[in-house]
Amino acid sequence: MVAVLSDSDLRQRAWDAAATVVDPEIPVLTIADLGVLRDVQVHDGRIEVAITPTYSGCPAMNMIILEIELALERAGFARPTVRTILSPAWTTDWMSEDGRNKLRKYGIAPPQASSSRRALFGDQQVACPQCGSDNTEVLSEFGSTSCKALWRCKSCREPFDYFKCH
Amino acid sequence: MATASITVSETPLVLYTLRRADDALILGHRLSEWCGHAPMLEEDMALANIALDLLGQARELYSYAARVENKGHDEDKFAYLRDVRQYRNLLLLEQPNGDFARTMVRQVFYSVFADLYWRAMMKSDDPTLAAIAAKSEKESAYHVRHSSEWIVRLGDGTEESHRRAQTAIDDLWAFTGEMFAVDDGERGLIDAGIAIDAATLHDQWLKTVSDVVREATLTLPKNDWMQQGGRSGSHSEYLGHLLSELQSLQRTFPGAAW
């Protein structure tokens, strides 16, 4: 007997498969942790996944699309499609608490909701992910990827990445 | 050049979108020229990051222009197969990088404008342009902060850095007026709620730029004569050279992909 799955079961299975895909540049975070995975729909048994880019020019998007397609094919979904949506614009508010903890353990300071992007010359405080000290300084507003800034801890002297609030 | 340029059907909305796309592409390309040449590693990364943001914005805008035009063009055709007179970017953005101070002055002039512009465009009745605006305004906020901080460091730095920053301000000032110009085609889009009136952004732009320049112990020129032409394809000699580099691969090997 062949079990026939309802659309909502299919959708859940497809979501779970897509949610295993990690950000190639921050491999401790899945696209679900990041809030990049927005929606999964079933159309006549075919899966359509919607994702949103973190930054307009994020070069990881092509890789993520390919990984989602592969993850779904491995889970038994033939010829899935991945759609990129821009609205509503991605925000670090969508990052899960679990994701923030994983980032910290990985050595990247998670985004801080309190920092204002509009402050022209304002100071922000970011705690060092290594030693927890607040005695830190920004080295560069732009880091190794679009979504990160480069900081240094003045207590333990370790440089670290800060996932920018966006 | 081995491949002919495309002919674009410049309806008001296609033209409007291409103007913004060209701004992002040309400035993004200019900034990418610093890659490997910036004064220090952090700055190399910062300029490449900003260039990447702009390139991402350009891609979204070109793709939208292609959908609106509906003539089978795409983002690559717009970027690689239009000649210099078909480009619609601001003259400011095609100006050569010059020294680091000149690059940063160009950046603060444009970023402060772009930040105000995209924030206003979030209310556009065109859902695609509003979505691109919501994405871009977040990025431009970082570009404003980064370039403003540099202007202060350069202006309030050494005698030499002050001199270079002031020279750059004086030289580039005449290209700033074009950002706020509105022509008849745009007027129709403004009335339709699709575009915003860039002229209304001027006061806030001037206030922010003046604040940064004052903090940097620099001064803005008094003269108000402004050079225009980029929006209608009359460019400075620099854009053709930029495009010959940007387009050489696609012109030589049409459709090359990797």
Q: Please report the residues numbered 89 through 108 in chain A whose beta carbons come closer than 8 angstroms to any beta carbon of chain B.
A: 89-90
B1 domain residue, yes or no: no
SS (H, E, C) B23-47: HHHHHHHHHHCCCCCCCCHHHHHHH
pLDDT in tens, B71-106: 999 999 999 999 999 999 999 999 999 999 999 999
Closest-CA residue of B relative to A61 is: B56
CA distance B143 to chain A (A): 9
Reported residue count of chain B is 258
B246 exposure class (CB count in 10 Å sphere: 0-12, 13-18, 19+): middle
pLDDT in tens, A76-88: 999 999 999 998 9
> Pick from B44, B56, B111: which is nearest to A55 by CA?
B56
Q: Domain total for chain B?
A: 1
Task: Match 């895909």 to its residue by tokens.
Answer: A21
pLDDT in tens, B38-83: 999 989 999 999 999 999 999 999 999 999 999 999 999 999 999 9
Q: What is the mean pLDDT of residues B134-158?
A: 95
CATH no. for residue B85? 1.20.1260.10
Please tell me the number of Cα atoms within 13 Å of B15 on its side-chain side: 17
B212 contacts chain A (CB < 8 A): yes
Give the bridge partners for A151, in sequence order: A138, A160
Closest-CA residue of B relative to A88 is: B131
B201 domain residue, yes or no: yes
B2 domain residue, yes or no: no
A121 contacts chain B (CB < 8 A): yes
Q: How far is CA A34 from CA A93, B157, B180, B190, in A?
A: 9, 40, 38, 37
A148 contacts chain B (CB < 8 A): no
Residues 6 or more apart whose Cβ sits within 8 Å of residue A27: none
Residues from chain B that touch A87, judged by Cβ atoms under 8 A, are: 127, 130-131, 134
- Whether residue B50 and residue A142 make contact (CB cut-off 8 A), yes or no, is yes
- Whether residue A89 and residue B138 make contact (CB cut-off 8 A), yes or no, is yes
B7 domain residue, yes or no: no
Q: Following DSSP, what letter does each residue of chain A receive, concatenated?
A: -PPPPPHHHHHHHHHHHHTTPEETTEEEEEHHHHT-EEEEEEETTEEEEEE--SSTT-THHHHHHHHHHHHHHHTT--S-EEEE--SSPP-GGGS-HHHHHHHHHHTEEPP-TT--TT-SS-------TTT--S-EEEEESS-SSTTEEEEEETTT--EEEEE---
Model confidence at A121, in pLDDT bands (50, 70, 90)? low
If you ran DSSP here, which 8-state letter would residue B221 be given?
-
Query: Is residue A164 over pLDDT 90?
Result: no
pLDDT at B113: 98
**ipTM higher than the 0.95 cut:** no
Model confidence at A41, in pLDDT bands (50, 70, 90)? very high
B22 domain residue, yes or no: yes
B184 domain residue, yes or no: yes
Which of B131, B139, B208 shows the shortest C-beta gap to A55? B139
Closest-CA residue of B relative to A120 is: B145
Which of A89, A90, A121 shows the shortest C-beta gap to B149? A121
pTM of the predicted model as reported, rounded to 2 decimal places = 0.91
Q: What is the rounded CA–CA span in Å between residue B87 and residue B79?
A: 9
Q: Which domain does B234 fall in, by range?
A: 12-219+227-247
Q: What is the mean pLDDT of residues B24-34?
A: 98
Residues from chain A that touch B139, judged by Cβ atoms under 8 A, are: 55-56
Model confidence at A123, in pLDDT bands (50, 70, 90)? low
Residues 6 or more apart whose Cβ sits within 8 Å of residue B150: B104, B107, B108
B142 domain residue, yes or no: yes
Q: What is the rounded CA–CA span in Å between residue A54 and residue A60?
A: 9
B138 domain residue, yes or no: yes
If you ran DSSP here, which 8-state letter would residue B217 be given?
T
pLDDT at B1: 47
Query: Is residue A94 over pLDDT 70?
Result: yes
At residue B18, φ and ψ (nearest 5 deg) are -65, -35
B125 exposure class (CB count in 10 Å sphere: 0-12, 13-18, 19+): exposed
- Whether residue B215 and residue A58 make contact (CB cut-off 8 A), yes or no, is no
Interface-testing mutation among B20, B47, B52, B151, with chain A (most A C-beta atoms within 10 A): B52
CA distance B157 to chain A (A): 16
Q: What is the rounded CA–CA span in Å between residue B84 and residue B238?
A: 10
- Whether residue A142 and residue B132 make contact (CB cut-off 8 A), yes or no, is no
B38 contacts chain A (CB < 8 A): no
Model confidence at B184, in pLDDT bands (50, 70, 90)? very high
A150 contacts chain B (CB < 8 A): yes
If you ran DSSP here, which 8-state letter would residue B111 be given?
H
Model confidence at A1, in pLDDT bands (50, 70, 90)? very low
Residue type (1 letter), B105:
V
Query: Is residue A118 over pLDDT 60?
Result: no
